[in-house]
Structure 1
Amino acid sequence: MPFVVIPDTPSVLITVTDETLHEVAHGMGTIETTVAPGIYRIEQRFAGAVSSRFVEVGEDARTERLALPRIAAPEPVERTVTAQAAHREAALRWSRKSTHRRGEPSLMVLLRTLRRGWRLDPYALEVTAADGGAVDGGEDGWQVDPQQGWAAWSGRVQPGGYRLRRRGPAGDGLPLAQALWVSRGWSTLVFVSSGPHGPQPQHATVEMTPLGTGWSPADETLSLAREAAFSGLRQGLDLTSDQQLFPMLDSERIDPFLGIVGAHAMLLDHRPDLRRVDELVRRLAPHVPGHPDVAALRTLLEGPSAQVASPPMLAASCRLLIRADGTDPGVIKDGSPAEQAAEHLVGRGVWTTWLEEERRPVSADRGGPGTWGAGEHTSGSRPPVADAASRVQAYVREIADLTGKPVDEVLRDVSRDELCRRTGLPHKPVERAIEQLRKAEAEPEPGPGREPREPERAPE
């Protein structure tokens, strides 16, 4: 019998199984197939939510329409369980008007609580330049409505790389920074949810709109597709509909960052269609020249690109750059913020997030407890970030211990490119580690009157 399943939005992954749990249909969006009469299970996966139902197919054709699963979203999208009118109004207003200085905002950050009753820390987030200096004007630069549960920052900034971070340490005490990028002629809109333990930038949603147009909830289907795309990256699944991606890039509704996310989603396939990915990236490139995420995708499709100085927004893009830099040094510019991020990258959601070396807890006489800045390490606080080169050295020494080989022999057997690949680091710290290891191995053995050199310990 003809059997049609129609989801509420195209970016839904549908799976149909029969009563023996055998899969009879699978795909994104509407499913059209034929089945024998019987009981079937329909599962839909969308933006982290999974729902299922059983249906009976008899002697007649059947069409089943599915309601949208109940999902939570950082962006105040209609038909999600976290949609709030006050938050939509804040997004509409502050994506078009600056809270800090004057001019049409090219960057907006909206922090909002997803449940009534959860405490909002309105000044928990900070927007900084690539060098770590704040650009948001401190608390005076933010607009806050504690009753409605939102805090917003928006302003006109120069195109380039920026950071989003907490003003104080996160709950785990780590000085973390998250990459942002602003393109000429575009506004970057960042939606951050505030959970029971404070802001959750690792679960943020990012959107790009033409400068001056601001956020718009009118295209609900596209907003839902965006939520599905980010959820897919978090789960390692391609949940982005090509039916929406490619037409979008040729229309007035273009969102270049959704295209970037879609390209990475297509790469999640076990046998990705690189021709289609290349077509998508080529369509994106003219809209956002210089975007580090596009540069990262190009290293996969076209080989090494020009030096990248700013960290890309997506962790998947950062890993592409690290891989390319390991085989072709210079893809990541030496001494740049991109190199700093690559050396101290941490796994925290889909975003490029790293430990900032320059931010340290300072003593009470330099700002009081809980203040973070460029001070020295203090007693009882977290020690400085482990140097990336020392991590590589520890890795090589561990191989030497396990194989019973001298360190210099391990260095002959394992090339620099291979060490970059295994450690997930760019070429600079790996080369630094190799040089230090060879220098240490060349030191003369302890003789009379010499103290033996204490072996290095691997960082915890």
Structure 2
Amino acid sequence: MPFVVIPDTPSVLITVTDDALREVAHGMGTIETTLPPGIYRIEQRFAGAVDSQFAEVGTEAFTERLPLPRVPAPAPVERTATTQPAHQEAALRWSRQSTHRRGEPTLMVLLRNLRRGWRLDPYALQISAESGEGVDGGADGWQVDPQQGWTAWSGRLAPGGYRLRLREPSGDGLPLAQALWVSEGWTTLVFVSNGPQGPMPQHASVEMVPAGTGWCPADEALSLAREAALSGLRQGIDLMSDKQLFPMLDSGRVDPFLGIVGAHAMLLDRSPDLKRLDDVVQRLTPHVPGHPDVAALRTLFDGPPAQVASPPMLAASCQLLIRADGIDPGVIKDGSVAENVAEHLVGRGVWTTWLEEDRRLAAGARGGLVLRGDDARARGPRPLAADAASRVEAYVQEIADLSGMFVGEVLRDMPRDELCRRTGLPHKPVDEAIQRLRGAPGEAPG
């Protein structure tokens, strides 16, 4: 019999199995097939949410419209499991009005409780400049509503790079930071979920709106597409249908960051349309000049851009810059914050996240960072991590030991750009490691 199921939004992955748990249909979006009468299980996957239902196919054609799975989302998007009118009102207000000083906000951070009863620390997050100095005014800069379960910061910041971090180290004792970027003429909106253990900035959702217009919850189709794309980037797999992807790619005038996310989602395809992607990047560039995520995408097409000094927001963008810097040294500016970040990256979701060594050293000197393990007696300052060049040296030495080769032979067989790619590090620490391994500090890397 004809069997048709139609999901509520295009980028839904559908799997149909029979009563023996054999897969009989699989695909993204609408499923149209024929099945013999029987009982079937229809499973939907979308943006990290999974939903299933049973269906009986009889002697007549079967057609079913599937409701959207209950997707949890950091932003209070309609038709998600975590939307709340009070949180929408907060986003609408503070994306147009500043909580810190005066002026039209260019950055808004909204931390929201996704479930009643979870403890919400209203001042858990901090916004700092690239130097590490706080720019959010401390507790006085944040607006809090404990009854409605949200805390917000918004204010006018100069264009450029910033950091989002926890005021106190996370549960694992590590002072981590995430990259933020503010563009001239735009307001960057950062939505952060608060979970049972506190804020989860690694699962944040980011939007951009023209300055003064504020957040707009009306276009839920694009908001759902954003969540699907971010879920795909977290898993490293293509979870986007063309029907949702193409509007994202054409969204530069409405939300350039949506176009950036869509571009990276497109790169997850096994055979991405590079010509279309090049057109997208060219359209994005004039809207957000200097944006490090756009600069990272440009490395795929028109050679090395101007030296990038600030880290991009997306980890995928950071990897593009590191790869380009290994081929053309200087894509990441030597001695810049971007270079320091690239040397201390931490794999934590889709956002560029790094270990702030200066904060760790300061806390370690005070005895503030301790090991947390099963043995409560194993306490004390965390040992210093090896510098980036030492990590490269150890990697090359390990290859030499495993292959029975001399270190010099490994270096001859592995060009610098390949070593950068394998270690995930920019050219500078790799060059330094190569010089050390060759035993000739003045010798140029091969």
Bigger shift: 9-18 or 341-350?
9-18
Equivalent in the alignment of 1:457: none
**Distance (Å, rounded) in 2 between the aligned partners of 1:117 and 1:325:** 47
Q: 1:357 matched to which residue of 2?
A: 357
Asked if 2 retains the 8 angstrom alpha-carbon contact of 1:361 and 1:381, the reply is: no
* Cα distance change, pair 392–369 in 1 and its aligned pair in 2 (3 A): closer
1:406 aligns with 2:406: yes
The equivalences for 1:56-95 within 5 A come to 56-95=56-95
Q: 1:362 to 1:185 in 2, by over 3 A?
A: same
Structure 1 range deviating more: 256-265 or 18-27: 18-27
Map of 1:34-433 to 2, 5 A cutoff?
34-39=33-38, 40-247=40-247, 254-360=254-360, 362=362, 380-433=380-433
Letter in 1 for 2:189: L
Say which SS state the counterpart of residue 300 (structure 1) adopts. coil
| CA-to-aligned-CA distance 1:166-197 (integer Å, 9 cap, x gap) | 11211111121101111111111001111111
Helix, strand or coil at the partner of 2:102? coil
Segments of structure 2 that go 5 or more residues without pairing to the other structure are 370-378
Q: Name the counterpart of 2:27.
A: 26
Structure 1 spans left out of the alignment, 5+ residues? 371-378, 443-460
Aligned partners of 2:187, 2:224: CA distance in 1, in Å? 19
The answer on whether the counterparts of 1:263 and 1:277 sit within 8 Å (CA) in structure 2 is yes
Q: 1:59 to 1:289 in 2, by over 3 A?
A: farther
Shifted more, 276-285 versus 322-331: the winner is 276-285
Conserved 8 A contact 1:408-1:441? no
- SS at 1:395 equivalent: helix
1:248–1:426 Cα change, 3 Å: closer
Q: Secondary structure at 1:259's aligned position in 2?
A: helix
Q: Partners in 2 of 1:416 and 1:395 — Cα distance?
A: 13
- TM-score relative to the length of structure 2: 0.89
Q: Deviations over 1:227-260 (max 9, x none)?
A: 2221221122323343244345657982221221
How many matched pairs? 432
Report the Cα offset of residue 410 of structure 1.
2.8
CA contact (8 A) 2:435 2:441 kept: no
Contact in 2 for aligned 1:162/1:180 (Cα 8 Å): yes
Is the deviation greater in 36-45 or in 301-310?
Answer: 36-45
The alignment partner of 1:100 has SS state of coil
Change (3 A) 1:275 1:43: farther
- Measure how far apart 1:363 and its partner are: 6.9
Distance (Å, rounded) in 1 between the aligned partners of 2:364 and 2:132: 22
Out of 84-93 and 197-206, give the one that drifted further.
Answer: 84-93
SS at structure 1 position matched to 2:193: strand
* Structure 1 length-normalised TM: 0.87
Q: CA deviation at 1:89?
A: 1.5
Q: Distance in 2 between matches of 1:234 and 1:253?
A: 26
8 A contact 2:112–2:192 mirrored in 1: yes
Relative distance call for 1:268 and 1:155 in structure 2 (3 A) is same
Q: CA distance change for structure 1 residues 233 and 147 in 2, over 3 Å: closer, same or farther?
A: same
Is residue 19–residue 38 contact of structure 1 (8 Å, CA) maintained in 2?
Answer: no
1:257 maps to amino acid: F
| Shift, 1:283, TM fit | 3.0
SS in 2 for 1:101: coil
SS class of match (2:290): coil
Q: Percent identity?
A: 76
Change (3 A) 1:18 1:35: farther
> Partners of 2:274 and 2:193 in 1: how far apart?
34
Describe the shift of the 1:191–1:251 C-alpha distance in structure 2 as closer, same or farther (beyond 3 A).
closer
Using a 3 Å threshold, how does the CA distance of structure 1 residues 405 and 393 change in structure 2: closer, same or farther? same
Q: Which residue of 2 aligns with 1:373?
A: none
Equivalent residue, structure 2, for 1:454:
none
My pick for the range that moved more, 399-408 or 185-194, is: 399-408
Matched position secondary structure for 2:111: strand
CA-to-aligned-CA distance 1:76-102 (integer Å, 9 cap, x gap)? 122222222222211111111001111
When residues 178 and 51 of structure 1 are mapped into structure 2, their CA distance, relative to the original with a 3 A threshold, is: same
Q: Which has the higher mean CA deviation after the structures are superposed, 230-239 or 326-335?
A: 230-239
| C-alpha distance in structure 2 between counterparts of 1:404 and 1:97, whole Å | 64
CA contact (8 A) 1:229 1:240 kept: yes
What SS does the aligned partner of 1:55 have? strand
Task: Assess, with a 3 A threshold, how the Cα gap between structure 1 residues 309 and 197 changes in structure 2: closer, same or farther.
Answer: same
Amino acid at match of 2:95: S
The CA deviation string for residues 316-348 of structure 1, in whole angstroms up to 9 with x for no partner, is 111111111111111111111111111111100
Q: Which amino acid aligns with 1:218?
A: A
SS at match of 1:72: coil
2:373 paired residue number: none
